[in-house]
A and B are shown apart, each in its own frame.
Chain A
């Protein structure tokens, strides 16, 4: 149907039913498409918010168990609705605003951070036919829109008019700009073999089981996966690369002066970003929605993504934090040469046709 430029094939019956329902109420047909797009956006927003709430709880539980504690136990079974209570608490909290803040910048920083976190999901393939829009620039689009997160962190650091916040914002910018290079080059290693930037094409090129996935394309696949994972950990400012919010040095970095709902927006965006980089890793290296046929594709996607999220969480609670100079040296003197060498090897393999 030409009505659908979007590729929500799996959910097509639902949206078609909705379309008929809205038309039967008597809404003008020009409104229907924007309305359904709006609904789709709300749906993704809802799902991601739930995932972020779950991730917050999961992180607390993993941290606690690594440190031989139980973590939240009071609300529900093993404290499963603890984060919901926390979110409600943050909603009710007073919004403290520093007098010397830069008013406009201070207000817009959490908004931009929040929006930028969700923008990547336009091209995220949740499953076979479960994608909002299969843009032909797919992965490049994700890389482009996620840069707004850095800008929001810089805005937060500046707008707070606080030394710690400013230092946190600056550290974050330096780190993200440095680690963006190895991340993009690791992604490029996969793109060479796909021959397309579209997320659907990337997943389809590794259809089948285990050994069709790019992580098992020796020798460059595993190297690209590891370098991507390291760079992605730095991109989302998590330990061992969490110098932008190093608690012992900077109180909590760029979000020191934020409270209440604005803080909650930063916090939620952080977890959504972690899910995003994990989802990209699952799509590029672990075959996305591919797996045994009898399990629905979106379960595969979620399973693989959460597996990588688990890995990132284990990193966070087992490794100590790097120093600033170590961090930069690692990026520029080790990670970038390795990823470029890997890219060249992959290019030679592709040219000679040595891939399967």
Chain B
């Protein structure tokens, strides 16, 4: 949609709608519905420089340099009319929101049979905002305590992780992001982009006891040393489809030993210096989930608290409690 020199582009699959506004050199106002993928592919393929778009009733002409595309347009009366989301507005720091998204979205489920878990919970918590996601194998929690404006006490919404994945790709060096929470939709506004999505209208499972669980074993370790070591030993247990079997952690007084074994390939082990207090323990994890947690946890030094080889472990940075990652072991016999 062109109004003066302002071009607004909207793309939607009805569940998720993204709108962006850019400054162009406009000749006359109007609107046209183009085939999304085709148009994007055309624009991407063009040589650098100005591109001209002219729209008629049944055709649009896209040209740049010597290239010219006459593309069939979709009648604009067939395009759905998106009204704005009405509801509570919250404006928060975009940088920390983006950081939070990257930390939690990856732990959300891709299992469409468990719709609830494909969402990310955004809830009010201690005068801040909390983001939670889980796929039932691990759970990530991030608090944004410094959020300038907050949700009402007890307010919470469940946002599809797919939409948040898109959002984290869109946010670019913005200062602030505004959330508009409606009855069944949520809208994110940042810079010149708005993204709106349907909410998942399900009750999120209670997760707090996963974090509160009493754990008597604590490993304190340099985050990147452990991350690198896990990535190395993982080579021994990852298969062609990109999935991996378990990596064992032998936890002992002043170090942790990682062991990955595959009967057809061999064995990898690596010892990493650490401080460990608790009972001697061997616990196994899916290395991908472990890597996700180590990636997402901020800070240089982290802790990994365990109960035993079958109950959920807890990971977090030593110097603050903004981020927590709960990880369920793999049972090996």
Physical interaction between A and B: no
